[in-house]
Amino acid sequence: MTADVSTIYLLDVATGNSVEAELRDAIEQAQIDDWQTKWQPALLGILQDLARNGVPMSQWPQSWHWNWAQKTARVQGLLAFRGFSVVAQGETQGLVQVDLTKAGREPNQVRKPLVYIDYLEVAPWNRPEFGAAPRLRGVGTALLTAAVALSDDEGFKGRLGLHSLPQADDFYRKIGMTDLGPDSAYQNLRYFEMTAEQARAFLE
């Protein structure tokens, strides 16, 4: 299967210029190779810096142990799971894997199907929380937009759900998702949902 590719634009933080990028509706071997050979060494450098500077582990990037090779292999061939990737400047800039078998919990959409974001991660060099200025902005939003658009395309009206890592809680509140509080059945991570109305507002 060949991925469908759409053109999107990201912001190059250093120059202020927009950068053409590909939004691909799949996570392919090239993305796994980039994760292994580019993301992993960059992340290792960041973790070494954090350890050297005495930053407590609670403040480390909470996705540092994610293994995209395993995550994608586990769901290969299953219709219930889909992936998207953003590629720019010859490198994978972000990845998202979603599950289409989950249902809503928000009172207005209880048990209605939604797109559930299993994992969303942006390349280490694009993440502002590590101190250095990010290289490209807009990757996470592009991936989230792809997930909302998929929900719409599947007839789920943009409904979206996810468990947020604490470092991302504020972002999901800022884009208007409903915070349904900590989920004791899921490592106490906060569960967020986007309703059909919120999805419409998000896409506008």
Partner 1 sequence: MMAKRTMTLNLTDAEMRVLDDLSLRKDITKTAVLRQALRLYQTIEARVEKGEKLLFENEATKEKAELMLL
- Is residue 80 near partner 1 by the rule CB under 8 A? yes
DSSP track, 165-191: PGGGHHHHHHTT-EEEEE-TTTTTPEE
Of 23 and 50, which has the nearer Cβ to partner 1?
A: 23
Site string for partner 1, 137-166 (x = CB under 8 A): ----------------xxxxx---------
CA dist 202 and 111 (Å) reads 22
CA distances from 203 to 35, 176, 177 (A): 28, 11, 13
Give the amino acid at 194: M
DSSP track, 135-175: SEESHHHHHHHHHHHHHHHTTSTT-EEEEEPGGGHHHHHHT
Length of the chain equals 204
Nearest distance, CB of residue 196 and partner 1, angstroms: 8
Of 54 and 79, which has the nearer Cβ to partner 1?
A: 79
Interface segment toward partner 1; rule CB under 8 A; list 15-23, 33-41, 48-56, 110-118? 110-118
Of 111 and 174, which has the nearer Cβ to partner 1?
A: 111
Scanning residues 87 to 106, which ones bind partner 1 (CB under 8 A)? 100-101
Q: Which residue of 16, 29, 58, 79 would you call a contact of partner 1, by CB under 8 A? A: 79
Nearest distance, CB of residue 51 and partner 1, angstroms: 38
- Is residue 25 near partner 1 by the rule CB under 8 A? yes
- Is residue 197 near partner 1 by the rule CB under 8 A? no
- Is residue 185 near partner 1 by the rule CB under 8 A? no
CA dist 139 and 24 (Å) reads 12
Which positions lie near partner 1, rule CB under 8 A?
Answer: 4, 25, 78-80, 100-101, 109, 111-113, 153-157
